[in-house]
Structure 1
């Protein structure tokens, strides 16, 4: 459904990630760095991580960074429908995006 989604595991080899694997704070720092430099950031949780990240992205990119904050309750309803086509999902999701 999301063909351009990238994760730190996709961007780095096992050998590159090995020194970080046993340290959750270092893995979180890698997540932060990947999200910071991405073209689009989609928030999936509340808390400090996405708020700091959105602010940092606004600062770095002069307020021109694409951040998507979906309405999670409405998004859950969309994901719960296995018959929903990707085209219909895209249309429905655009209606429920917070910002």
Structure 2
């Protein structure tokens, strides 16, 4: 979970919600602390080929479906997620690269 100003955001809940969009193939949601030590929501998303969805489109979907608290501060689109040896998104590495 991510402790943001105003409450807690559960990463798997937000990932599951992002996956309901037909253009989202995979996603990883994680927290990254900013310079003021406040944790911000980041999402790394893999889209289906040919998708034209934007980060703002996904933010609007999250705003409407989960509320302001869950809106990612940053959404990055990639061709493939970094995975651990266990085949799970490597959130530690994604977090490190986001700083």
- TM-score of the pair, normalised by structure 2: 0.31
Q: Higher relative contact order by CA 8 Å / sep ≥ 6: 1 or 2?
A: 2
Q: Which structure shows the bigger proportion of residues in helix conformation? A: 1
- TM-score of the pair, normalised by structure 1: 0.31
Structure with higher Rg: it is: 1
Q: Which structure shows the bigger proportion of residues in strand conformation? A: 2
